[in-house]
Chains A and B, each alone.
Chain A
């Protein structure tokens, strides 16, 4: 054998080959997760700007400017903030998987290398989804200090529901990520613009982001329409977990939100439904 040899034999690779299928799949899964962590870490500032600029302006205009010039009442920002958190969490998670996937499956095919890893391809879709959800949770969490800074005295979040808040944040992120998986496998690169106007915009305005669901009782048809947006349940859930009770005429009044059982049911059902639809389509896209 020559001295400079591109030797294809190696002890470590050989031992990896002997590893059980399950162990190997697990190793591969964590390796692709680590790849996403490394890449995101490297562009963390860009990531934050991408997901935070929009909520920053929403908070400033709707939570600060409108109340100050008298076009919204003082309590509005307390209702608005949970909606902004849910919207940001969902969008960040959704974009975290949808955009890269559309480009990857469309032409870049950078994902091929991961699809050739010794693991079921379903795990590649799962990893993408879970990591995007993590991005969503981070984006949602960063809203809190941001809101505290922008809203000042208007910032009020109840602190007796922190576990519920965290749980709902995670569910919201998973819902966004699984929806992103569906969009990522269905949308073609040339349709990305269309995706934003046809899916993002309706989602944003039917998701009870800027108003509580109960407040819509006078516009019954629209109240019903909002029930079809999964974002509604995320916003209402977070509203429950964040909006403090207020004192009105000596009585403690808590905000009426959608029943939490419905919120949880709708979120869990959408997560499972979106994931299986997305994963099924994903496999069909990557294996022809």
Chain B
């Protein structure tokens, strides 16, 4: 299990030494035809054999494109990629034999019955008949699908579809399993079930690369995580190391409202600047960000904007949308070695800058906060 903490941009200039890598990506660039920017922009990382590796980032960060390249569905514009020691540009056919893909949305063969979906998949990969039938039955039982194996998939729920796709993926005994947003549309129960299976598979030696925009999922499952945004890998490390990126490990979050209810136009912008300046002037403060998407309590995620890319538009509920929103409420994050010592000072500074403090809390270390620290934006 290669959980050696390789920092920021995994430097792969030296030849991969003793533990052979499952995946090696160097300087990967993908620009789609007629696109104005790179979907994946000079990304490098590697995944050791037997590792669970996560690509974490908002929609549009380039995670799915990266998986697309590794699974031979997307042709890289440039870059050097090896999968199970095989160079992608040369060995696509043998790489396809060693990987398995579970996509974001169902691509199950709806003309076939569930069990046939599995056995045909194995047949495509050259698994002999007797063995593929045994494996299909075993996998269907283990994934709780045994009693419905002779049905077609049209009437299956999202969780069922997901399980069938995973069972299918395992039929040809792959070395690497790619999971693209595996729990995106699952109910909590199915999500936990899936996490369990992922851990089991990994314990049996399967290398797993998954993408997610769910911080908790990345934290729970992954031994190493690359955080992506706008096609780039921002950081790449173990969850524990990543959480240490935030100086002092914690952040102080303030929600303030511009004074006198002057919420519109120049006055609001003016007030924002005054608050930012006042907070930055506090002793020991290393960074202050104004958040550009709703940051409600992390336990109840804010309504997801259509794309993580820009500032979310059209706030819903009481605090969604841009900050400052129409009522002049803005959210700031303040980072320092010891934020708890600054609680009083920060509130006073905001007041002195003419703002009214609505809420003030200390954010514990979490991947979500790491992402916000790195980008100034919420992941959703």
Complexed CA–CA distance, A113 and B110 (Å): 12
Closest to B30 in A: A288
Which of A34-42, A158-166, A245-253 is found at the contact surface with chain B?
Answer: A34-42
Contacting residues, chain A, for B131 (C-beta < 8 A)? 10-13
A14-56 interface (Cβ within 8 A of B): 14, 16-17, 19, 21, 24-25, 27-28, 31-32, 34-35, 38-39, 42
Q: Kindly state whether residue A281 has any CB partner on chain B within 8 Å.
A: no
Contact with B along A93-128 (1 / 0, CB 8 A): 000000000000000111011111111100000000
Q: Kindly state whether residue A69 has any CB partner on chain B within 8 Å.
A: no
By the criterion CB–CB under 8 Å, are A287 and B74 in contact? yes
Complexed CA–CA distance, A14 and B97 (Å): 10
Closest to B174 in A: A8
Q: Kindly state whether residue B8 has any CB partner on chain A within 8 Å.
A: no
From A17, A31, A35, B97 is in contact (CB under 8 Å) with: A17
Contact with A along B93-126 (1 / 0, CB 8 A): 1101111110101011111100011001111111
By the criterion CB–CB under 8 Å, are A6 and B96 in contact? no
Q: Kindly state whether residue A71 has any CB partner on chain B within 8 Å.
A: no
By the criterion CB–CB under 8 Å, are A28 and B173 in contact? no
Q: Kindly state whether residue A198 has any CB partner on chain B within 8 Å.
A: no
From B93, B107, B128, A25 is in contact (CB under 8 Å) with: B93
By the criterion CB–CB under 8 Å, are B103 and A39 in contact? no
The residue in A5, A17, A38, A119 that gathers the most chain B C-beta atoms within 10 A of its C-beta is A17
Complexed CA–CA distance, A32 and B122 (Å): 11
- The 7 lowest CB-CB distance pairs between A and B, nearest first, are A16-B126, A13-B173, A12-B131, A117-B124, A31-B123, A109-B107, A118-B97
By the criterion CB–CB under 8 Å, are A39 and B97 in contact? no
Q: Kindly state whether residue B204 has any CB partner on chain A within 8 Å.
A: yes
Complexed CA–CA distance, A14 and B73 (Å): 24
Contacting residues, chain B, for A108 (C-beta < 8 A)? 107, 110
Known: A39-B112, A118-B97. 11 other contacts (CB 8 A): A6-B143, A10-B131, A13-B173, A17-B94, A17-B98, A27-B123, A108-B110, A110-B107, A110-B109, A110-B110, A113-B121
From A1, A5, A10, A14, B135 is in contact (CB under 8 Å) with: A10
Contacting residues, chain B, for A35 (C-beta < 8 A)? 109, 112, 120, 123
Closest to B138 in A: A6
Q: Kindly state whether residue A218 has any CB partner on chain B within 8 Å.
A: no
From B96, B97, B120, B173, A10 is in contact (CB under 8 Å) with: B173
Closest to A109 in B: B107
The residue in A1, A7, A34 that gathers the most chain B C-beta atoms within 10 A of its C-beta is A7
Task: State which size class the interface on A falls in.
Answer: 35 or more
Q: Kindly state whether residue A286 has any CB partner on chain B within 8 Å.
A: yes
Q: Kindly state whether residue B71 has any CB partner on chain A within 8 Å.
A: yes
Contact with A along B172-215 (1 / 0, CB 8 A): 11110000000000000000000001001100111000000000
Q: Kindly state whether residue B72 has any CB partner on chain A within 8 Å.
A: yes
By the criterion CB–CB under 8 Å, are B172 and A16 in contact? yes
By the criterion CB–CB under 8 Å, are B142 and A6 in contact? yes
From B93, B126, B138, A27 is in contact (CB under 8 Å) with: B126
By the criterion CB–CB under 8 Å, are A118 and B197 in contact? no
Complexed CA–CA distance, A150 and B116 (Å): 40
Closest to A31 in B: B123
A-B contact pairs, 20 of them (CB 8 A): A5-B200, A5-B204, A6-B142, A6-B143, A6-B200, A7-B204, A9-B204, A10-B135, A12-B127, A21-B93, A24-B97, A25-B93, A28-B124, A35-B112, A42-B111, A116-B100, A117-B125, A118-B96, A118-B124, A288-B74
Q: How many residues of B contact A (CB 8 A)?
A: 54
Closest to A119 in B: B93
Q: Kindly state whether residue B168 has any CB partner on chain A within 8 Å.
A: yes
From A10, A110, A119, A288, B32 is in contact (CB under 8 Å) with: A288
B192-246 interface (Cβ within 8 A of A): 197, 200-201, 204-206
A171-201 interface (Cβ within 8 A of B): none
A223-247 interface (Cβ within 8 A of B): none
Contacting residues, chain B, for A219 (C-beta < 8 A)? none
Contacting residues, chain A, for B138 (C-beta < 8 A)? 6
By the criterion CB–CB under 8 Å, are B73 and A6 in contact? no
CB distance from A5 to the nearest CB of B (A): 6
By the criterion CB–CB under 8 Å, are B124 and A6 in contact? no
By the criterion CB–CB under 8 Å, are B93 and A288 in contact? no
Contacting residues, chain B, for A16 (C-beta < 8 A)? 97, 125-128, 172
With A5-B200, A17-B97, A19-B126 known as contacts, the answer to whether A113 contacts B205 (CB < 8 A) is: no
